[in-house]
Chains A and B, each alone.
Chain A
Amino acid sequence: QQPVQSPQAVILREGEDAVINCSSSKALYSVHWYRQKHGEAPVFLMILLKGGEQKGHDKISASFNEKKQQSSLYLTASQLSYSGTYFCGTELSGYSTLTFGKGTMLLVSP
């Protein structure tokens, strides 16, 4: 039940926007987003619970469409520091194991 992330990779110029999607074939309880910079540990960004909520974190926000079992991560006015690999992790229930997607590599160039 590994979630599918798209795109696999994206290259942006500083200031451009990007959307990263995370889809599941199973009904989801929650979606977690993490960012991992090269050679570093993944760092938590946000959790979204079922109910179609949307959250924001500086210029990074996300939505969770329960009907589509899909979450989207929005990066606006990208900065160089946004570069890294973004992973979504999904839970089927509040007490199930978190299953991560294969990641989306984001590169922001000057």
Chain B
Amino acid sequence: GAGVSQSPSNKVTEKGKDVELRCDPISGHTALYWYRQSLGQGLEFLIYFQGNSAPDKSGLPSDRFSAERTGGSVSTLTIQRTQQEDSAVYLCASSQARGEQETQYFGPGTRLLVL
């Protein structure tokens, strides 16, 4: 079956512009995660959605970052007034559920470059 897909694959934007990154999780997966990966760094947790529950936004670095998940499926991560330090790979992952059997399946990521 289809895996997690993300679009665009690459995005180059100018400082101060807004960007939207999209994630299509695996069908049937109720949990969806966004991570940021900077060069040489680990996977930095940003936000987590589980079904209809309120999202866990504890990892969002600033109020310029927001995310939504419509209909329990597709998610959009929005970065407003982008800064150069926002340049990174943004990874989306989905899993069947949160818990001890959780296995996260990652998408290929969106490489964001802010000039």
Contact = CB atoms under 8 A, between A and B. Distances in A.
| Residues of A in contact with B, size category | 20 to 34
B100 A94 contact: yes
A34 B101 CA distance: 15
Determine the main DSSP class of B at the interface with A: loop
A94 B44 CA distance: 19
A89 B43 contact: yes
A8 B43 CA distance: 15
Contact of B105 (A44, A94, A98, A103): A44
A100 interface: yes
A87 B42 contact: yes
Interface stretch (B14-22, B66-74, B80-88, B106-114): B106-114
B1 interface: no
Contacts of B104: 32, 44, 98
Contacts of B4: 41
A87 B40 CA distance: 12
Contacts of A43: 106
Given A41-B108, A44-B103, A97 B59 contact: yes
Contact of A2 (B35, B42, B56): B42
B58 interface: yes
A41 B103 contact: no
Nearest to A89: B43
A102 B35 CA distance: 13
B103 A47 contact: yes
Interface of B: 4, 33, 35, 40-45, 48, 56, 58-59, 91, 98-109
Question: 6 tightest A-B contacts by CB?
Answer: A41-B106, A100-B43, A102-B42, A100-B42, A42-B106, A44-B103
Given A40-B108, A103-B42, 15 more contacts: A30-B100, A32-B103, A41-B4, A41-B107, A41-B108, A44-B104, A47-B100, A89-B43, A95-B99, A97-B45, A99-B45, A100-B43, A100-B44, A102-B40, A102-B41
